[in-house]
Amino acid sequence: MLFLLMLAPAAGFAQVGRAPGMLDPNLATEQELAAVPHLSPALIKQITDQRPFLSMLELDQVLGTLSAEQRSEAYRKMFIHLNLNTASREEILLIPGVGSRMLHEFLEYRPYRGLAQFRREIGKYVDDTELARLVGHVFVPVDLNTAPDSVILTIPGVGNRMLREFKEYRPYGMIEQFRREIGKYVNEKEVARLERYVTLETP
C-alpha cells in the first residue's frame, strides 16, 4: 500500500484509473484490439463501427456471442471505465474477479471523492497488485472548474490540445456549456464520451 501512496503526484491524484496493458475499446486501434482474447475480426469490426460506447453494458451486449468466461478474459485486457459513484451492480460485476462480496465493498463507500479514497478503502481487502488492477477499471468524475492539468489528462483521449479547450471556457456554469463549447471541436458522440468523465461540483 505504501508503494501506491508514493507514486508521482499525477498518478496519486488521478481520477481516472490506469493499469498497464489495459485498453480503452473506444480508443484502441484495430491492431490493438486484435491482441485481446476472443475478439474475432467480426467482433472487432462491430466494436469500431459502433463506438463510442457510453457504458460497459453496451459493449457487453456487442460481445454477447462470447461466453461469460470469454468476456471476462477479454475484460482483463480492455474495459470502459466505470463511474464509481453511479455504476450499476450489473456493471460492477463485469469487472473480472469482482463477485458479490467485492461488489458490496465497492458500494459501501459511496460517494467516492477520488481514487485515493477508493485505494484506501478497497485496499483493506486486496493486496497492492489486485488493487492496482481494480483501479484500472474505474474513475471518479473530474471537476471541470478546479481539476489540475495532470488530472484532466487522465481522461482517456484527452491530450494537450483538448486540455487547452477544457480550460479555455472556465468557469463552467452548467454542463450544457461544456457540451456547447467542446462540441466545436468534436462530434456529439465524442462530447458524450468525454462528458462521462467530468462533473461540476457545487460550491
**How is the chain split into domains, by residue range?**
2-20+80-139, 30-75, 143-199
Q: Do residues 186 and 193 lie in contact, with contact meaning Cβ atoms separated by under 8 Å?
A: no
Contact (Cβ atoms closer than 8 angstroms) between residue 14 and residue 151: yes
How large is the average pLDDT for residues 64-84?
A: 97
Write out pLDDT tens, residues 27-60: 999 999 999 999 999 999 999 999 999 999 999 9
Predicted local distance difference test score (pLDDT) of residue 10: 40
**Residue 3 vs residues 12, 125, 126, 172: alpha-carbon distances, Å:** 11, 16, 14, 36
CATH class of 2-20+80-139: mainly alpha
What are the grid coordinates assigned to 90, written together? 450489473
Task: Work out the average pLDDT over 91-116.
Answer: 96
pLDDT classification of 201: cutoffs 50, 70, 90: confident
Average of per-residue pLDDT values in the chain: 92
Query: What's the average model confidence in pLDDT over 54-80?
Result: 97
Q: How far is CA 140 from CA 16, 25, 49, 65, 176, in A?
A: 6, 19, 28, 31, 20
Q: Is the pLDDT reported for residue 1 higher than 90?
A: no
| CA-based max dimension of the chain | 49
